[in-house]
C-alpha cells in the first residue's frame, strides 16, 4: 500500500508509521488522517505485527490540525462533515499496543494524537501544547479530556488556557511522557521498547492494553471486576502455561500467541 502523507516500515514484528507532510510540520489534514487510520487498522489486522510506533520528523511530530483547511470551515462543514469524529479516532479501534515517538512539536491535534496512543516516548527537543485557544477554538480531538487525566486539572488548565509550550522534561515530570531520549536516539530506543513489547505473548499484551484503557472509562470497582475476568482468562491461554513452565524450568519462554 502506498500513501501520500505517511511512510510505513516494518522491522521484524514492529510497524513504524511516520507522519510525512514536512512542508507544514506534519499538520493533520483529512488525507493524512484517512491514511493513518488505514495503516493502523491494516497493521492491527496483520498477524506478523505485534506493536506499532507512530512518529514524525525531527522538527515536528505534528503541529496540529491543518489551520489552512480549518480556516475555511463554518459550522455547517464541521458539524455535517463530522470533523474529527469522522476519521481521527480509528486509532481507538487498534487492539495492539501503539507507541507515540515524539520529536519536536506536538501541538494541538498533534498532542491529542500522541495522547490517543497507549504511551508517549519523547525526544529531548519535544514540545507539547494545546494552543487552540489562540485560534478561537478549543482542543477538539480529546485534549480537554485526556490531558487532565494525564497531567492533572491544574496543569491542563494552565496549558489549554495559555496555549504555552511544555518541554520534554516538564512533560515527563507531569506524567504525559513515559521516557525521554536524546533526539538522535529516539527512534532506535523506541524500537527497542516496541520489540520488547512485541516479544511478549500477544494475547496478554492486548489484555494489558484493554484493561488499562478501561480504567479511563469506568468506576474503580467495575474496572477491577473487568481486570479480574481478563486475569482469569489468561489461564486459558497456552502462553500462561509456557510462561510459568519456563520460569520454573529456568529457561527462556517460547510464546506462540495462543
Ligand atoms: N496547520 C497548517 N500549517 C501549519 C501548521 C498547522 N497547524 N503548523 C505549521 N504550519 C506551516 C506554516 O504555516 C509554515 O508554512 P509556510 O512555510 O508555507 O509559511 C510551515 O508549516 C512552517 O511553519 P513556521 O514557519 O510557522 O515554523 P516555525 O518554526 O516558525 O514555527 C510552530 C513552528 C511554532 C509550530 C508554528 O508553525 C505554529 O505555531 N503552528 C501552529 C500550531 C497550532 O496552533 N496548532 C494547533 C492547531 S488547531 C488544532 O489542532 C485543533 C484540534 O484540536 C484538532
Average pLDDT for consecutive 10-residue bins of the chain (258 residues)? 95 98 98 98 98 98 98 96 96 98 98 98 98 98 98 98 98 98 98 98 98 96 98 98 98 96
Check residue 229 and give its pLDDT: 98
Report whether residue 248 contacts ligand 1, using a CB cutoff of 6 Å.
no
Q: In the prediction, which pLDDT does 20 show?
A: 98
Q: What are phi and psi of 129, to 5 degrees?
A: -160, 155
Report pLDDT for 23. 98
Taking the C-alpha atoms of residue 212 and residue 231, their distance in angstroms, rounded to an integer, is 12
Catalytic site includes residue 65: yes
- pTM of model > 0.95: yes
In which residue are the cell numbers 519462554 written? 253
Q: Check residue 118 and give its pLDDT.
A: 98
- Return the pLDDT at 201: 97
Check if the beta carbon of residue 126 is closer than 8 Å to that of residue 104. yes
Write the pLDDT tens digit of every residue in 180-208.
Answer: 999 999 999 999 999 999 999 999 999 99
Compute the distance between CA of residue 140 and CA of residue 226 in angstroms, rounded to an integer: 30
Question: What is residue 1's predicted lDDT score, i.e. its pLDDT?
Answer: 77
Whether 101 is a known active-site residue: answer no
User: Which residue in the list 27, 62, 65, 198 is annotated as catalytic?
Assistant: 65
Catalytic residue among 62, 90, 114, 132: 132
Tell me which of 109, 110, 142, 143 is the catalytic residue: 109
For residues 83 and 125, the answer to whether their CB atoms sit within 8 Å is no
Spatial contact of 142 and 117, defined as CB atoms under 8 Å apart: no
C-beta 138 within 6 A of ligand 1: no
Percent of the chain exceeding pLDDT 90 equals: 99
Residue identifier of the C-alpha nearest atom 25 of ligand 1: 24
**pLDDT for the residue 148:** 98
Angle (nearest 5°) at CA 115 between 87 and 20: 60
Q: Can you say how many angstroms the Cα of residue 58 is from the centroid of all Cα atoms in its chain?
A: 18
Closest CA to 167 of 215, 222, 138, 127: 127
Amino acid at each position: 500500500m502506498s500513501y501520500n502523507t505517511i511512510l510505513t516500515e516494518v522491522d521484524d514484528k514492529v510497524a513504524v508509521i511516520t507522519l510525512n507532510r514536512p512542508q507544514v510540520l506534519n499538520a493533520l489534514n483529512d488525507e493524512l488522517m484517512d491514511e493513518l487510520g488505514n495503516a493502523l487498522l491494516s497493521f492491527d489486522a496483520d498477524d506478523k505485527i505485534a506493536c506499532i510506533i507512530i512518529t514524525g520528523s525531527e522538527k515536528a511530530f505534528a503541529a496540529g490540525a491543518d489551520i489552512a483547511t480549518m480556516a475555511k470551515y463554518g459550522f455547517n462543514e464541521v458539524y455535517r462533515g463530522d470533523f474529527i469524529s469522522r476519521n481521527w479516532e480509528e486509532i481507538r479501534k487498534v487492539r495492539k499496543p501503539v507507541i507515540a515517538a515524539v520529536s519536536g512539536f506536538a501541538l494541538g491535534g498533534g498532542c491529542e494524537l500522541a495522547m490517543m496512543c497507549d504511551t508517549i516516548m519523547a525526544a529531548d527537543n519535544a514540545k507539547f501544547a494545546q494552543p487552540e485557544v489562540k485560534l478561537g477554538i478549543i482542543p477538539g480531538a480529546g485534549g480537554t479530556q485526556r490531558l487532565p487525566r494525564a497531567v492533572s486539572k491544574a496543569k491542563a488548565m494552565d496549558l489549554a488556557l495559555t496555549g504555552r509550550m511544555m518541554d520534554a522534561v516538564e512533560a515527563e515530570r507531569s506524567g504525559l511522557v513515559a521516557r525521554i531520549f536524546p533526539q538522535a536516539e529516539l527512534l532506535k530506543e523506541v524500537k527497542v521498547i516496541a520489540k520488547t513489547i512485541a516479544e511478549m505473548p500477544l494475547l496478554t499484551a492486548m489484555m494489558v492494553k484493554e484493561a488499562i484503557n478501561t480504567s479511563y472509562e469506568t468506576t474503580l470497582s467495575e474496572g477491577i471486576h473487568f481486570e479480574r475476568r481478563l486475569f482469569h482468562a489468561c489461564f486459558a491461554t497456552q502462553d500462561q502455561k509456557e510462561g510459568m513452565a519456563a520460569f520454573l524450568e529456568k529457561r527462556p519462554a517460547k510464546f506462540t500467541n495462543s
